[in-house]
Structure 1
Amino acid sequence: MIRLVSVIVLVAFLAITAAVKMLGIQSDARKSTLNSIASTMHTTSEIVHTKAIVNGLTSACYIYKDETTLRAFIEGIYICNGYPTAHIDNVKKAFNISEDLEVNNRMKDGGRIAYVSFKEVTYHTDNITKMFSVTPKCYVSYRDAKKTSDPKVYDVQVELEEC
């Protein structure tokens, strides 16, 4: 009887240890996926920008609401200032985002930011400073190139704190 209880306790301990390790593997896989998406965003943005230079579209901007404006795009990817826009459908298409991932976006400082995450992104706005934060902190953000005067015309950030 004592041997049976000992074996059961030992097997339970091993199961708990394995479960904890498996959870760590899932977190590492999520972090790796988001880092890979960020790399794809950088590479694709630079390739699209090079093609925009060749086609003379570095100052054109695709505008969704205005049907009379030049609709700038490179190979089906909508661009602004030569880089992909951060609209949800464009981010999915340009960066080949899996259907398993969530893509949301938000306007900030005249530009659009797209968030790619595993879970639904929730925005929290401070009414005094008008600053906002995003939870959970496990996402990639892509800010489109709305201002040509900025030295950094697009921006990709990876947040892996809560993966």
Structure 2
Amino acid sequence: MDLITPNLGLIFWQLVVFLLVLFLLAKFAWKPILTSLREREDSIESALRMADQAKLEMQQLKAGNEKLLTEARQERDKIMQEAGQMANQLIEQAKNKATEEGSRMIMQAREAIQNEKNSALAEVKNTAAKLSIDIAERILRRELTDPTAQQQLVNSYLQEVKLN
């Protein structure tokens, strides 16, 4: 039972050593330990504040990115719409130009056909006139070889001139 019950001298010396260690720790170790604990606590609080601030900044950046993305989509849609309108305008202009060019070519073709027709008619008239003159000349040569026929022809011409 001596092992279980402590001796009074042992308790005294343990108390003295404990107080001596407590005094030495209070004198030399507790201030640096408490200072380092405060510094650690401050750095943890600072890190938490910075994390909260970073979280807020990330939310703001996310909101800004969403806004920029929305604006970019709207700008893209606007550009696509303008491009579609420009394409439609170019197609319409090309159609109009093609129609005008076709009309102009048709008019030129009609004018060319009319000119060719007039030219052909003039050529036919000239040919007919030449043939008529040739025929008239041959007839007159035949009739003018006879002097009595010449006299009759002149008389008939004179009568026709008087009648007109």
TM-score by length of 2: 0.32
**Which of the pair has the greater relative contact order for Cα pairs under 8 Å at 6+ separation?**
1
Which one has a larger percent strand, Structure 1 or Structure 2? 1
TM-score by length of 1: 0.32
Larger radius of gyration: 2
Which one has a larger percent helix, Structure 1 or Structure 2? 2
